[in-house]
A = this chain, B = another copy of it.
């Protein structure tokens, strides 16, 4: 097998630890991922050897730091195949990125009576900023409905457009279900209606090749910490033509060109959108994570994760009294399920005791859960450092849970 899982697991030191005196199984990857040693060491090296604030500094280390930061931008550009470096804006995470776009785009293009389309599969972070925008501007939300597999109803989507539609905000991959949405096609539909699209890629970039130009996404947003990078980092890709048009969101040091008390003019892209000292250590760590992903190979990652998905689906569906939700055609290896008659919290508490980290609850997707009349599920989200043996261990733990609460 080309995919050397043992080597990979050794790259992630935390996977070697024990929890509750059991080997640690980390199945909470949709919440955040673990970090390969090289990412940790990359950031250490900065603090131990080169740390200095970036941009406009005249001294040696400031120069080193700035180059590393701008090289990281180029690494991200290549990773998502953006056309230009300055279309890559660094933020503190997906939530911050969506807030940025909702504010900046909203200030310029959304006014009373306008409409914004989102989907039923969105994370709260891709719902609430649009709600707030609607509230501020007197606009309204239209929601793309789903079927019972947790798939968007594309026909219904097309019907939501009107002359009032100003933007579509859509997740690439849903964090509650793992469903992959046909974003390319959906962007095409939006563009035919003259409407730009923001894609929430928080659960997508780490699982398969994303090409923002091929998708023709107007905005593409994701978090570093969910793709094996550090916390406090994130990216907004935006098309130059739109980024030039919309006003900045945060303002302050470095993103300005000229400041007088009367009037301020803004710096060019990408700086216009990067106010204040960026998390440059984090960003450089993120570039190291991307290099790690690329060396491992996104195609290999995707096909190994598909194996995990198939094996997990098979094993979990064999368990009596386990309801596996949303087995969409096209999805990443997220398993969302409930055990009949057992509260997810009770199950989660016991599964934890076997050293297995799963998440329980509504996964920041309340409206979605309500659509299915459930308060929450148990969610196991797997990535390429997980194994089929770990899935077996989860199944064993589930059997124990059933015994206890029978």
Q: Which residues of A contact B (CB under 8 A)?
A: 13-14, 17, 19-20, 26, 28, 31-32, 34-35, 39-40, 43-44, 47-53, 56-62, 92-96, 98-99, 107, 123-129, 131-132, 136, 141, 143, 223, 225, 230-233, 248-254, 256, 258-261, 263-264, 275-282, 345, 348-349, 351-352, 356-361, 364, 366-367, 370
Contacts and interface: CB of A to CB of B under 8 A. Distances in A.
Contact of A13 (B26, B34, B48, B136): B48
Nearest to A347: B58
19 contacts: A19-B59, A26-B61, A28-B53, A35-B51, A40-B44, A43-B43, A60-B352, A94-B252, A95-B252, A96-B250, A96-B275, A99-B251, A124-B259, A127-B261, A128-B264, A129-B252, A143-B261, A231-B278, A232-B232
Contact of A61 (B19, B53, B366): B19
A53 to B, nearest CB: 4
Given A32-B53, A352-B59, A232 B128 contact: no
Contact of A92 (B50, B92, B94): B92
A252 B282 contact: no
The interface residues of chain A, by DSSP majority, are classed as mixed
Contacts of A359: 57-59
B60 A281 contact: no
A249 B92 CA distance: 14
A281 B231 contact: yes
Contacts of A56: 361
Interface centre among A32, A254, A277, A282 (most CB of B within 10 A): A277
A92 B279 contact: yes
Nearest to A24: B61
B250 A58 contact: no
Contacts of A349: 58
Contact of A261 (B48, B53, B231, B367): B367
Contact of A231 (B248, B279, B352): B279
Contacts of A280: 231
Contact of A59 (B131, B252, B348): B348
Given A261-B143, A345-B58, A367-B261, A123 B252 contact: yes
B19 A260 contact: no
B60 A19 contact: yes
A147 B231 CA distance: 44
Contacts of A20: 60
Contact of A225 (B61, B107, B128, B277): B277
Contacts of A52: 28, 31-32, 357
